[in-house]
Amino acid sequence: MSTSSSQRTRTATPHRRLAESIWGAATPLVLAGTLAAVLAVGGCAGGSTPAVSSSVALRPAPGAGAPGSPAAAQRAGAAAGGSHAPFVASPAGGLGAGALEPGVAVSGTGDPAVAPGQVLHGPRGRRWIALTFDADMTHAMQGALRAGRVPGGWYDRALFDELRATQTPATIFLTGLWTAQYPDVVRRLSADPRFELDNHSVDHSAFATPCFGLPTVGSTAAKRQEIASARAAIRRASGHTPRYFRFPGGCATGADVRLVRSYGELPVLWDVVSGDAFQRDPDVIVRSVLDSVRPGSIMVAHCIGAPNTPATAAALHVLIPRLRGEGYRFVTLSRLLSR
C-alpha cells in the first residue's frame, strides 16, 4: 500500500461537495464514514490496516445524510467473513422465497450489528455470483430531482446498457419512489428475463437507528406500509411479486426481519461491497470487488448513477469480463439461492 493517510484525507473534499449538493448539510462524520468504508473494503489488497480512523468513522451518525449503506455493508461483509461463526447455513424454508439451496449463509446471532435471519451469500461450492443494484430514492432525492438538481436523473442508463450488452443477469432492489418515477424503465426491466426485481422499501427510510442519518420509520404500522406498498408498486409496475427484501442501509432488528418474512419476502444483505457510493474512480470499485469476491458472493452496488454513484457502470465494464475470465458465472439472486 502506498496511499498515505493524508492522501486519503484530501480525497474527501470532492466527496463532501458532492454530498452537500444533493443532501444539504451532510456532516463530516458521515462523509468520513463513506470514504472510510470505501477504503476499508477496497483499498488494501496487501492486508495492511487502513490508515483512516475507521473505528470511529464507520459508526453511523445520527442526524446526517448519506445514500446507500457503506458502513452497514462493511459490517455485513465483516460478519460474512468474520471468525466468530456469525451465520447458520440452515435452510429458511416455508418462505415466499421458497426453500434455500444448501450452503446459503444466513446471519446468525453472533454479531449484534447484523440482525439475524438475513442472507449473506450463496453456496461457496460453485463459481456463481449475484450482482445486485439498489435503486435508492429518498424523499430528499425525489425533491432534488423535481427541483432540477439532478440533470441525469436517478437512473443509471449506462449501467443497464453495460449489463445488456454483456448479457449479464442482475437483481435490482427497487424503492417504491424509484418505481413510481421510472415506470417505463421498470416495465422494460421486468420484460427482460436477465433481470429480477425485488423490494427495497418505499422511500429508503431506516427500520432501525442509527442508520447514516436516513429518516426513520417510526412504527410497526409504518414498517408494514414500507414493505407492503413497495411490494404492491413493484407488482403493479412489473407484474412480478418480489421474493427478496433489502433493508435501507442494511439497518434492521430481528423483529424487522421477522416482519419482512411474514410478507413472504426473504431479507438479503451481501458479502461483497462495491463501495460505489460517492466513488468517482472505477478502479477503486474494481479493486474492492476483486479483493473480496468468492464463489457464491452477493455484490451490492447502486443503479442511480451520478452524482451519488457515478463510476458503477465504468467499473462493471472492467469487472464483468474480468470475473468471467476467472470462471465466474453471473446469476440472479433466485438462481443463486433457491433450490
**Which has the closest alpha carbon to 241: 103, 122, 114, 96?**
96
| Closest distance of CB 114 from Zn ion, Å | 16
Q: Which is nearer to Zn ion, 134 or 271 (CB)?
A: 134
Residues in contact with Zn ion, counted by CB under 5 A, come to a total of 2
- In angstroms, rounded to a whole number, what is the distance separating the alpha carbons of residues 226 and 256? 11
With the CA atoms of 287, 288, 294 and 299 taken in that order, what torsion angle do they form, in degrees rounded to the nearest 10? -130
**Cell (9 digits) for 339:** 433450490
**Cell (9 digits) for 310:** 457515478
For residue 122, CA distances in Å to 125, 197, 294 come to 9, 18, 10
Q: Which is nearer to Zn ion, 8 or 231 (CB)?
A: 231
276 binding Zn ion? (CB under 5 A): no
Q: Which is nearer to Zn ion, 270 or 328 (CB)?
A: 270
Residue appearing with cell numbers 406498498 = 229
Judge whether 244 and 268 are in contact, CB under 8 Å: yes
Judge whether 159 and 315 are in contact, CB under 8 Å: no
- In angstroms, rounded to a whole number, what is the distance separating the alpha carbons of residues 53 and 70? 15
Q: 122-151: which residues touch Zn ion (CB under 5 A)?
A: 134, 136
| Closest distance of CB 325 from Zn ion, Å | 30
Q: Which is nearer to Zn ion, 110 or 210 (CB)?
A: 210
CB within 8 A of 92, min separation 6: which ones?
100, 106, 117, 261, 266
| Closest distance of CB 256 from Zn ion, Å | 15
- Which helix (DSSP H) or strand (DSSP E) does residue 316 occupy? helix 312-325
- Which helix (DSSP H) or strand (DSSP E) does residue 133 occupy? strand 128-135
Q: Report the residue closest to Zn ion, judged by CB.
A: 134
Binding mask 222-251 for Zn ion (x = CB under 5 A): ------------------------------
| Closest distance of CB 136 from Zn ion, Å | 4
Judge whether 75 and 252 are in contact, CB under 8 Å: no
Task: For the beta carbon of residue 308, count every other beta carbon within 10 angstroms.
Answer: 24
- In angstroms, rounded to a whole number, what is the distance separating the alpha carbons of residues 157 and 18? 20
| Closest distance of CB 328 from Zn ion, Å | 24
Q: Which is nearer to Zn ion, 50 or 275 (CB)?
A: 275
- Which helix (DSSP H) or strand (DSSP E) does residue 167 occupy? none
Q: Which is nearer to Zn ion, 87 or 133 (CB)?
A: 133
| Closest distance of CB 339 from Zn ion, Å | 28
| Closest distance of CB 145 from Zn ion, Å | 16
**Cell (9 digits) for 181:** 418515477
| Closest distance of CB 177 from Zn ion, Å | 12
**Which has the closest alpha carbon to 309: 2, 73, 48, 101?**
73
Q: Which is nearer to Zn ion, 105 or 251 (CB)?
A: 251
**Cell (9 digits) for 13:** 473534499
Q: Which is nearer to Zn ion, 111 or 136 (CB)?
A: 136
| Closest distance of CB 68 from Zn ion, Å | 5
Binding mask 88-127 for Zn ion (x = CB under 5 A): ----------------------------------------
Q: Which is nearer to Zn ion, 251 or 286 (CB)?
A: 251
Binding residues for Zn ion, per CB under 5 A? 134, 136
